[in-house]
């Protein structure tokens, strides 16, 4: 039985707030169910790992909960968040610019190796 969930945000665009709730909600639920949850933010979604970005975004306009609050909720249940190393160059940032909830960098080879494991399931957004 699978014990690990890998959530890959690669097609999610932070400019569309309504796209941001489901992945973090699913991460929180799976982590609360005691699955190992890793969330990789790549491409444009990688901006969510940059300090100041997620805290300025809302899934629903006017709602007090920010996207960073959603990330923190999932993180509080045990979900781990990872930035794509290529995003550092793409967005001209360093690891010091990443949010506190980001566990570090996960490259493509590590991500693909995890996906190929039998005990892993993948959701992509």
Number of helical H runs and strand E runs in the chain: 4, 5
Pick the CATH number of 4-124 from 3.40.1260.10, 3.55.40.20, 3.40.50.280, 3.40.50.720: 3.40.1260.10
How far is Cα 103 from Cα 79, in angstroms, rounded to an integer? 10
Residue-level pLDDT at 51? 98
pLDDT digits (tens, 9 = 90+) for 30-83: 999 999 999 999 999 999 999 999 999 999 999 999 999 999 999 999 999 999
Residue-level pLDDT at 80? 98
Q: Is the pLDDT score of 84 beyond 90? A: yes
Tokens representing residue 98 in the block: 């990443």
**Cα separations in angstroms, 85 against 11, 70, 89:** 17, 23, 8
26: confidence class by pLDDT, cuts 50, 70, 90: very high
Residues sharing a CB contact under 8 Å with residue 66, sequence separation 6 or more, in sequence order: 54, 55, 56, 57, 58
The pTM (predicted TM-score) of the whole model is 0.95
Q: For the chain, which residues make up each domain, given as ranges?
A: 4-124
């Amino acid at each position: 039985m699978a014990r690990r969930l890998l959530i890959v945000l690669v097609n999610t665009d932070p400019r569309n707030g309504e796209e941001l709730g489901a992945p973090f909600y699913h991460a929180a639920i799976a982590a609360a169910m005691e699955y190992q949850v890793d969330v990789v933010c790549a491409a444009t979604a990688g901006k969510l790992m940059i300090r100041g970005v997620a805290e300025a975004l809302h899934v629903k306009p006017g709602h007090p909960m920010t996207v960073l609050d959603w990330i923190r909720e999932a993180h509080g249940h045990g979900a781990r968040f990872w930035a794509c190393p290529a995003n550092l160059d793409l967005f001209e940032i360093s690891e010091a610019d990443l949010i506190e909830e980001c566990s570090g960098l996960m490259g493509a080879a590590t991500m693909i190796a995890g996906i190929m494991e039998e005990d892993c399931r993948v959701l992509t957004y």
